[in-house]
Structure 1
Amino acid sequence: MLHTHARTGVAAAALAVVGLALLVGVPAANGSAGDRRADTTPPTVLLAPYARPLVGAQVFTAYYEDDPQALEYWQLDHVLTWQASDPSGICGQTVTWQSYEYLGSDDDPVLGGAVDTFSVPPTARRALVPNLNAANWGRVPDRFLVRVTDCAGNTATSNIALSELGTREDTDPAITYRGSWRVGHFPGFSGGTTHNTTAQGASARLTFTGSGPVALVMEKAADRGKADVFVDGVKKATVDTHADTTQHRVVVWQGIYMSGTHTLRVVNRATPGHPRIDLDTLLLCSGAAAGSSCIG
């Protein structure tokens, strides 16, 4: 049975309020009052093309009961980032969110129907999108745009950002494991399993083609340790999955990659005292939206 997960005004309020903790401050107004009155040029605004998975957030995934390999939906906090400038300064900003969870709500001249709009402070260049979720049956994914108004009253609309993601669970045959790995079973893991290892240098490797966000989801616990993340042979990060309390399905790393074929590799460092790592799932753009450049 397919479940629906309706968002209400509570989520809208969360975007406006929680996003305040993620702001990058810039001057809100520049120039004299006369300069602002003479300004008839809209601001410059450029929205990053994807909503990025929030590192440290927990992802929730659900699979159909009659087909445990078929993803029903995912849910995860995301972050939008943009650039905005104007000689008169920025005096107003809104984020418009199109989601099928908002069916029957407002229309937008760019995105179309099923939208909701939230105000963010004029200094914001970053906003949290809480509990963003999506189903995996080929619909248009959640989409976003930012409108920026300068202090002379001119408004500019950004490009559209996408949020579409799919999963590659740890049991996906496309993931190649080297070294000594075991499969762990627990309902709290995404898809019910993780691949885990305590062997130094043991690695997991996935090659993907496309462009968009990529996120690594792992288990965090007191007996877990560190791993190195490589993309196309270049080390991108060392992630630490050690935590005082157990945390399931945590996004420990994310990146954005342009069109092409890429290889992601995770290598266990076998941290002394807590050498274990658990690979739970990888989040990749699933490419269901027509015309998108998401990872297939």
Structure 2
Amino acid sequence: MVTRAEWQADESIVTEPPSYGTTVKAFWVHHTAGTNDYSCADSAAIVRGIEVYHVKSNGWNDIGYNFLADKCGVIFEGRKGGIDQPVIGAHTYGFNTDTAAIAILGTYISSGVPPVVQDAIAHVAAYKLGQYGNDPLGKVTLTEGVADGKYALGEQVTFNRIGGHRDAVATECPGDALYGQLGIIRNKAATVYGLTLTGLTGTKNGTTYYTKTGTTASWSVSTPSALISRFEVLVDGAVAVTTAGTARSAALTLAPGTHTVQVRGVHRLGRTAATPAQTVIADTTAPSFPQVPTLSLRTGSVSSSVVPVTLGWRAADNVAVRSVALTAPTTGTFAASGTYGTTTKPGVTTTWSMRAQDWSGNTTTSSASWTPLFIPETKATRTGTWSTYTSSNYLGGSALTATAGGASLSWVFTGRSVSFVATKTATSGQAYIYVDGVKVSTVDLYSSTVQYRRVVWAKSWTGSARHTVKIVVVGTSGRPRVITDGLVYVR
């Protein structure tokens, strides 16, 4: 509040003492109809000019308005007599007694006032009406004191307690745009208006927030802080934290589980408003890996340095897994469970490490080491006639080939995944695959182009055990040849 002394009112031209009513029943909003293109540093000078105009030109004893405010929301004391007194002004002809008024510097026909000015109007209106227990959202019936063309002398007229000049007098004041904002101003003066829970610290997934044990609630509100008695932060409907009306955040400690969080504002007039309930889950339990990072063989091309593999995993959580990150031997981010096709080095033990994180930020890690190994065709137990092909295109520089149906190769190994490596050509035929004495597949090795070192079949188990894999030549008519390059298994 800029006092009369501070804006340098010319008290020498105010020759009569102020007049007083007994109450403040209504609060009128005006604009001065001057330019909006002014610096707020010049507002005091503009107020001084209005004082001189009202006294020298209008013949009034003093400036007519009880209060004025500039476009920056700075409030100026108007007519003298005490801002805490029911001073009778000269502002709303016929309804000056037992009312108060504020005028906003400028013209507000096409554009309204910014929120800071709305706050200033609401604050002063709530103060003046509240001194006498009058509700800024209420209505009041006043008696017309003059015959000015809008109402007859003595007519009883019902107004909003916060009204525009035009409500009482035939005028455009306070401008169409500012007049249209009076509903917002009434709400700001009397209610906790525009209260919104803007967020909770933690992680949001969909409409739910996740945290460990604590969160900070933040909110915004349109009602001026000075008109708010307090804020109450509710957890599961009960008050957990109480803050001052100036606060816009509060820290909460939550027990593990699912909760609702709301913010309730309490106006100085007693009205309350609360935000919708926001769900937040507090969780301190780390995820787990029911399936550790597990390597299995897959189809593709192998070499002396590359084996195609699939990494599989499954993470779980008491609430929800947010993501799983592969951290070694390479990196990537994946879903809670799944598979990832990649390659690894044969004959090398590699540790695969993953980290699971839930939505509350709890993490756990899991690692497992796997070794892919080659078993060359020369280590197999043979039946039938097999001959040797030599070429740098084959693993180890050679491969076994057969054309007669029934010729077979058998390998014994201990592992959890195995694959059969062969060469595919235009003259290659089919082979049966037996695992532990049971026929499990028939593979066709035909290809219009030559493909060396191809994994044509793979199988995995949940654990490591001793197994026998046998390859039997079918003897396909017209293309009976089978060229085998051995097995790969994971231990």
Q: TM-score range by the shorter chain?
A: 0.5 to 0.7
Which of residues 130, 133, 136 in structure 1 aligns to 2:345?
133
After superposition, the C-alpha distances for 1:44-91 in whole angstroms (9 at most, x for unaligned) are 323456422221x11112xxxxxxxxxxxx322221001123353332
CA distance in 2, matches of 1:189, 1:241: 16
| 1:84 is the counterpart of 2:325 | no
Matched residue, 2:333: 120
Q: 1:266 to 1:31 in 2, by over 3 A?
A: farther
Q: 1:77 to 1:261 in 2, by over 3 A?
A: closer
Root-mean-square deviation over aligned CA pairs: 2.5
CA distance in 1, matches of 2:383, 2:294: 32
Q: 1:121 to 1:263 in 2, by over 3 A?
A: closer
Q: 1:152 to 1:181 in 2, by over 3 A?
A: same
Contact in 2 for aligned 1:90/1:123 (Cα 8 Å): yes
Which of residues 328, 332, 335 in structure 2 aligns to 1:97?
328
Matched residue, 1:64: none
After TM superposition, which residue ranges in structure 1, 4 or more long, deviate above 4 angstroms?
29-32, 257-260
State the identity %: 28
For residue 244 of structure 1, give the secondary structure of its aligned residue in structure 2: coil
1:12-31 aligned at under 5 Å gives the runs none
| 1:252 is the counterpart of 2:456 | yes
Contact in 2 for aligned 1:30/1:89 (Cα 8 Å): no
Which of residues 354, 358, 361 in structure 2 aligns to 1:150?
358
Which of residues 468, 471, 478 in structure 2 aligns to 1:266?
471
Which of residues 368, 375, 380 in structure 2 aligns to 1:161?
368
Which of residues 192, 197, 205 in structure 1 aligns to 2:397?
192
More helix by share: 2
CA distance in 2, matches of 1:30, 1:232: 50
CA distance in 2, matches of 1:282, 1:78: 14
Matched residue, 1:236: 440
For residue 125 of structure 1, give the secondary structure of its aligned residue in structure 2: strand
CA distance in 1, matches of 2:465, 2:291: 22
Structure 1: give runs of 5+ residues left out of the alignment.
Answer: 1-28, 62-73, 99-115, 286-293
Contact in 1 for aligned 2:292/2:313 (Cα 8 Å): yes
Matched residue, 1:222: 426
For residue 191 of structure 1, give the secondary structure of its aligned residue in structure 2: helix
Contact in 2 for aligned 1:84/1:125 (Cα 8 Å): no
Which of residues 128, 146, 170 in structure 1 aligns to 2:377?
170
Structure 2: give runs of 5+ residues left out of the alignment.
Answer: 1-204, 211-257, 259-279
Higher RCO (C-alpha 8 Å, min separation 6): 1
Matched residue, 1:205: 410
Contact in 1 for aligned 2:419/2:489 (Cα 8 Å): yes
**Considering only CA atoms, is the larger Rg found in Structure 1 or Structure 2?**
2
CA distance in 1, matches of 2:377, 2:469: 13
CA distance in 1, matches of 2:415, 2:297: 15
Amino acid aligned to 2:302: V
Amino acid aligned to 1:216: F
CA distance in 2, matches of 1:46, 1:255: 21
CA distance in 2, matches of 1:211, 1:135: 14
Matched residue, 1:53: 297
Contact in 1 for aligned 2:293/2:354 (Cα 8 Å): no
Amino acid aligned to 2:475: A
Q: Give the Å deviation of 1:260.
A: 4.4
CA distance in 1, matches of 2:431, 2:451: 17
Matched residue, 1:18: none
Q: Give the Å deviation of 1:123.
A: 5.7
Q: Give the Å deviation of 1:144.
A: 0.3
| 1:37 is the counterpart of 2:281 | yes
Contact in 1 for aligned 2:310/2:342 (Cα 8 Å): yes
> TM (normalized to structure 1)?
0.66
Say how many residue pairs are matched. Answer: 218
CA distance in 1, matches of 2:477, 2:400: 20
CA distance in 2, matches of 1:204, 1:94: 41
After superposition, the C-alpha distances for 1:245-269 in whole angstroms (9 at most, x for unaligned) are 2111011122335454322111112
Contact in 1 for aligned 2:417/2:489 (Cα 8 Å): yes
Contact in 2 for aligned 1:196/1:278 (Cα 8 Å): yes
For residue 40 of structure 1, give the secondary structure of its aligned residue in structure 2: coil
Q: Give the Å deviation of 1:154.
A: 1.7
Amino acid aligned to 1:203: S
CA distance in 2, matches of 1:85, 1:189: 43
